[in-house]
Structure 1
Amino acid sequence: MIQNFINGLYEFHFLQNALITAVVIGIVSGAVGCFIILRGMSLMGDAISHAVLPGVAISYILGINFFIGAIAFGLLSSLIITYIKNNSLIKGDTAIGITFSSFLALGIILIGVANSSTDLFHILFGNILAVQDIDKWLTIGVSIFVLIVIALFFKQLLITSFDPLMAKAIGMKVNFYHYLLMVLLTLVSVTAMQSVGTILIVAMLITPAATAYLYTNSLKKMLILSSSIGAISSVLGLFIGYTFNIAAGSSIVITSAIIFAVSFLISPKQKFIRKRVKV
């Protein structure tokens, strides 16, 4: 089976594109996901990943690249959620639920208007084996940009993630870094559409980062480990999907979940097995 996969990589250009795109998305999702879980914003990742659907549908209707519409609606949803949370008695999770469900419903309506459920089906559930050269290079470009921003503002993102009150006290623009992270989250959500679709993007953002968190207390080590787990999950998931002719995006997510499950049992920080032995 492994040999068939390797032979396929040599023979088929679409499989080469899929592998490169999957690895790149795994790396950048793992990196951004670390900040998302440290800030307790997992639901925000879920909301933005689904809120981009209307933008994709509108882009399809207008005949423009879906990246444009998806990014616009992703940013719009984060602005609406933050505004509601900061300017009303409504809590953050409630604001996320309202915005998420509304944007998702709007996206489904627009898909019906576009009469293109066959094409937009891949946006919901992903089809990484159909990634074209332009999508691959766009994904690589966006991912490099996101990683550069993280490297440039690492210290600020670290402090505002762990202690926003102290960050504000020493003069840091906490809101600026919050919205910067929302921009990065939106960019990653849009690029990850091709591999796992909007339904499963949150798993790629959260699961590798959560797994890495079980092994280390250092954010730098967590970023490296999370990105590595994301890349490994992408390669193994693509291999399983291609070999057994099943959805590659779902295979990537399941592989990542299995790695988390094993880590949950064996990680030194978790001490799960040691606790069971004592009992």
Structure 2
Amino acid sequence: MTGLLSFLTDPWQLPFMQRAFLVAAVIGVVCGVVGVYVVLRGMAFIGDAVAHSAFPGVALAYAFEGNLLLGGAAAGVTTAVLIALVSQNRRLKEDTVIGVFFAFAFGLGIVLVSTRDSWTTDLSSFLFGQVLAVDSSDVWRVAGVGAVLVAVILALRKELVAVSLDRETARAAGLPVLRLDLTLYIIVTVTIVMSLEAVGNVLVLALLITPAATARLLTERLWAMTVLASAFGGVGSLGGLYVSYAYDLAAGGSIVVVLTGFFAVAWLVAPRHGLVARLRPRAGAAGAAGAAGAGAGSG
């Protein structure tokens, strides 16, 4: 018991771990809430596209010694708006448009990086995350931005769900589909850029998608899915940091591994949609069929 208490409390004695825990928890909760609408919309690909489209903005900011996160946010929002506008053309599917801009943005980022002679710690931390290096201003910035994002999502939750489930019906009902698309894309972009410092460009998609996908396996209700996804995101982020601290592992990767562990457990034991639940009725049906066959044979 003493060992467990020590494991839980020791990291909190270190100021840099306190800041890391706070940032990771906030990002985990916000990504969980936003990720619900990404999963419902079936737009996981947009998360990957935006994460990679931020890359050229970061590379450009690095080349001109600007703020990397602001550069990434500008590039990500620009790409998200272009995707939303071009995907209104019904001749093209949304994932096709996303693929075009995703490939272009990442290719542009590679071209920009190739103009530099060397990589630096700042650029590599953007790719792989450096949550242990956040300072107090980062904590306040993430908390403030996260609160605004969650407030906007909750205020528009009914409209966003309507557009996510059936765009044509939502359009026929008079909802501003393009405006809602732009709003959701920008929210996703800001969420991703906000999360880059914790897990980096390479792993940020897992933080956005995995908690919501886990919650999706466990419930059909939107409010319950939102609460569960935010809980999984927050607890998984904290758990990943504990694992990282205890075993001297990469923080971003550890967070993603813990979140994926939650998903694996839900996939196995979810009450209605888990593997065990789906196999149980089949086993019962097979037993009933065998009993019926035995009865017919004896007759």
TM normalised by structure 2 equals 0.87
Q: 269-278 or 135-144: which moved more? A: 269-278
Q: Within 1, Cα distance between the matches of 2:7 and 2:175?
A: 53
What is the match of residue 20 of structure 1?
22
What is the match of residue 183 of structure 1?
186
Q: 2:101 aligns with which of 96, 99, 102?
A: 99
Q: Within 2, Cα distance between the matches of 1:105 and 1:165?
A: 34
Asked if the contact 1:126–1:249 (Cα under 8 Å) also holds between the matched residues in 2, the reply is: yes
Asked if the contact 1:50–1:198 (Cα under 8 Å) also holds between the matched residues in 2, the reply is: yes
What is the match of residue 127 of structure 2?
124
The RMSD of aligned alpha carbons is: 1.8
What is the match of residue 216 of structure 1?
219
Give secondary structure in 2 for the equivalent of 1:86.
coil
Deviation by residue 1:159-181 (Cα, 9 ceiling, x = unmatched)? 22223222222211011111100
What is the match of residue 110 of structure 1?
112
Q: Within 2, Cα distance between the matches of 1:164 and 1:230?
A: 28
Unaligned runs of 5+ in 1: none
Deviation by residue 1:186-210 (Cα, 9 ceiling, x = unmatched)? 1100011011101111111111001
Q: CA deviation at 1:116?
A: 3.5
Alignment partner of 1:69 is 2:93: no
Structure 2 counterparts to residues 188-199 of structure 1, below 5 A: 188-199=191-202
Asked if the contact 1:111–1:117 (Cα under 8 Å) also holds between the matched residues in 2, the reply is: no
Q: CA deviation at 1:242?
A: 1.2
Asked if the contact 2:214–2:263 (Cα under 8 Å) also holds between the matched residues in 1, the reply is: yes
Structure 2 counterparts to residues 264-279 of structure 1, below 5 A: 264-277=267-280, 278-279=282-283
Q: Within 2, Cα distance between the matches of 1:107 and 1:137?
A: 29
Larger Rg: 2
Q: Within 1, Cα distance between the matches of 2:105 and 2:76?
A: 10
Give secondary structure in 2 for the equivalent of 1:64.
coil
What is the match of residue 39 of structure 1?
41
Alignment partner of 1:164 is 2:172: no
Q: Within 2, Cα distance between the matches of 1:198 and 1:144?
A: 22
Letter aligned with residue 73 of structure 2: I
Q: 2:176 aligns with which of 173, 196, 212?
A: 173
In structure 2, the CA distance between the partners of 1:97 and 1:164, relative to structure 1 (3 Å rule), is closer
Asked if the contact 1:157–1:177 (Cα under 8 Å) also holds between the matched residues in 2, the reply is: yes
In structure 2, the CA distance between the partners of 1:243 and 1:96, relative to structure 1 (3 Å rule), is same
What is the match of residue 264 of structure 2?
261
Unaligned runs of 5+ in 2: 284-299
Letter aligned with residue 59 of structure 2: A
Asked if the contact 2:19–2:135 (Cα under 8 Å) also holds between the matched residues in 1, the reply is: yes
Q: Within 2, Cα distance between the matches of 1:74 and 1:134?
A: 23
TM normalised by structure 1 equals 0.93
Give secondary structure in 1 for the equivalent of 2:175.
coil
Q: Within 2, Cα distance between the matches of 1:99 and 1:248?
A: 30
In structure 2, the CA distance between the partners of 1:76 and 1:243, relative to structure 1 (3 Å rule), is same
Q: Within 1, Cα distance between the matches of 2:63 and 2:215?
A: 40
Asked if the contact 2:24–2:131 (Cα under 8 Å) also holds between the matched residues in 1, the reply is: yes
In structure 2, the CA distance between the partners of 1:33 and 1:127, relative to structure 1 (3 Å rule), is same
Residue identity over aligned pairs, in percent, reads 36
Asked if the contact 1:21–1:136 (Cα under 8 Å) also holds between the matched residues in 2, the reply is: yes
